Amino acid sequence: MMPLLSDIRQSPLLWLLAVVPVLLAVELLRPGAHTLLFILSIVAIVPLAALLGRATESVAARIGDAMGGLLNATLGNLTELLIALTALRAGAHLAAYPGIAIVLFLVNSRWTVGSWFVSSGFFIAENVEALGHPLVAWDQLREGLYRLSGTALVWSGYAGAILMVFAYVRSPAKAPLALVLAPIAAAALPLSAYIQGHPFRIRYDVPLVAACAALAGAGIGLLWSRIQPIAAALVVGAALIQGPPLSRDAPLILESQRDAVSRKGRDAVTAYLVQHRDRRTIMMSMGSLGHYMHDLSAHGFAIEDFLHEGNGDIWSFAMTDPKAVVGWMAIEEKAEGGDALYLEAKRHPAFLDGFIRVAEGGGVALYRR
């Protein structure tokens, strides 16, 4: 209890916990004040989401990478999950929940990476083929989708979309089917990233696999009832043949194992950091070494121990004079052509003045001031 009270005293954000009893009182005394309840709910969620994020991070740091990642992926999004379930029960107020979800996203981003919204600066624009070329970016997006699910499911999705449009033209009463088209919007994020030069990643197409499956299913549902089972069996069979779900060589599995060798090599860097830890801030690019930050959480390091792109102006200042801000720097020198720190040191050798190279491994070099 005492650590919680200490955190509340030190963090103005947690002072908003005082809004929680106010919200409960308004709910009891003025249940019809929907606008006021909505505003108070948003404000009350902010400190609760922050406490939940801190709690899951603390537990994850003590139970290891695998369970810690599972915990962060479940409880870390518990607030959003509860809101989604509530939205399903209260369909009449559904329009309010996207707004709450956006607020929660911004709060979670501010709490975890130090910025309300991070739109750039967390990757090296090395995808020169797609950089500034939308058509090439589209081809990369489509290639990833084909490699993930095979062509059968994708083309079935195309056919389903065409059938839905045709059904709407014939009968405007079919307009609600347009909701099934919504998941296609998931293509906007990776497409925009590739146009900005973000490295190609197959995993960014995973939501589009679900979108294709939804479109294919909706299209099959519009066919004559007698041929629906046959069409469904053909689509499922072709998808299983082209993309075996239990294959050890599945593209997504191979991509997730890219860092396995480097991770083992980074043990030397981790050992030095743990042995000589002095609580000074570690400058590290989240765009290139965010996964390593997570690995270090198993050794007691927390997000506030690092200076990264999400810290905004402090990061920008440190990029001009790191020795004035941080005591350590961890630099990715090999993967994807090196990170932002590596490129800055390459352009301006004086960037590392005052720092000594003390450890290296797995493509990462550790510098200490």
HEC sequence for 61-73: HHHCHHHHHHHHH
Is it the case that residue 261 has pLDDT exceeding 90? no
Banded model confidence at residue 93, pLDDT cuts 50, 70, 90:
low
Q: What burial class does residue 314 get, using C-beta atoms within 10 Å of its C-beta: 0-12 exposed, 13-18 middle, 19+ buried?
A: middle
In a domain, 326, yes or no: yes
In a domain, 124, yes or no: no
Both 231 and 143 in one domain: the answer is yes
Q: What angle do CA 161, 184, 291 make, to 5 degrees?
A: 150
- Tell which residue, 363, 342, 287, has the closest CA to residue 123: 287
In a domain, 129, yes or no: no
Both 147 and 247 in one domain: the answer is yes
In sequence order, which ranges of the chain are alpha helices (DSSP H)?
2-10, 19-29, 34-63, 65-74, 78-89, 96-113, 134-149, 151-170, 188-195, 206-221, 228-242, 251-256, 260-265, 267-275, 286-297, 313-318, 340-347
Both 251 and 266 in one domain: the answer is no
Both 20 and 48 in one domain: the answer is yes
Q: Report the pLDDT value the prediction gives residue 142, as an integer from 0 to 100.
A: 93
Is it the case that residue 118 has pLDDT exceeding 60? no
In a domain, 148, yes or no: yes
Both 214 and 264 in one domain: the answer is no
Is it the case that residue 69 has pLDDT exceeding 60? no
Token pair belonging to 11 = 């963090």
Helix axes 96-113, 34-63, angle to 10 degrees: 40
Banded model confidence at residue 40, pLDDT cuts 50, 70, 90:
confident
In a domain, 180, yes or no: yes
Residue-averaged pLDDT of the chain: 81
In a domain, 123, yes or no: no
Token pair belonging to 172 = 């405007």
Among 57-61, 110-114, 229-233, name the most confident range.
229-233
Both 288 and 219 in one domain: the answer is no
Banded model confidence at residue 145, pLDDT cuts 50, 70, 90:
very high
Per-residue model confidence as pLDDT tens digits over 279-325: 899 999 887 888 899 889 989 998 889 998 877 788 889 999 999 99
Tokens 């980074």 -> residue: 266
Both 83 and 190 in one domain: the answer is no
Both 138 and 97 in one domain: the answer is no
- C-beta neighbour count of 160 within 10 angstroms: 26
- Per the model's pLDDT, the better-predicted residue between 123 and 250 turns out to be 250
Both 197 and 232 in one domain: the answer is yes
CA distance 26 to 359: 58
Domain count, the chain: 3
Q: Give the end of a domain, one of 256, 277, 297.
A: 256
Both 100 and 140 in one domain: the answer is no
In a domain, 119, yes or no: no
Both 202 and 275 in one domain: the answer is no
Is it the case that residue 86 has pLDDT exceeding 90? no
In a domain, 9, yes or no: yes
Q: Give the end of a domain, one of 219, 241, 256.
A: 256
Give the mean model confidence (pLDDT) for residues 260-279: 89
> Which residues, including other chains, have CB under 8 Å from residue 336's CB and lie 6 or more apart?
124, 126, 199, 288
Q: Give the end of a domain, one of 63, 81, 113.
A: 113
Both 220 and 332 in one domain: the answer is no
The residue range of the domain holding 146 is: 134-256
Percent of the chain with pLDDT over 70: 78
Q: pTM of this prediction?
A: 0.57
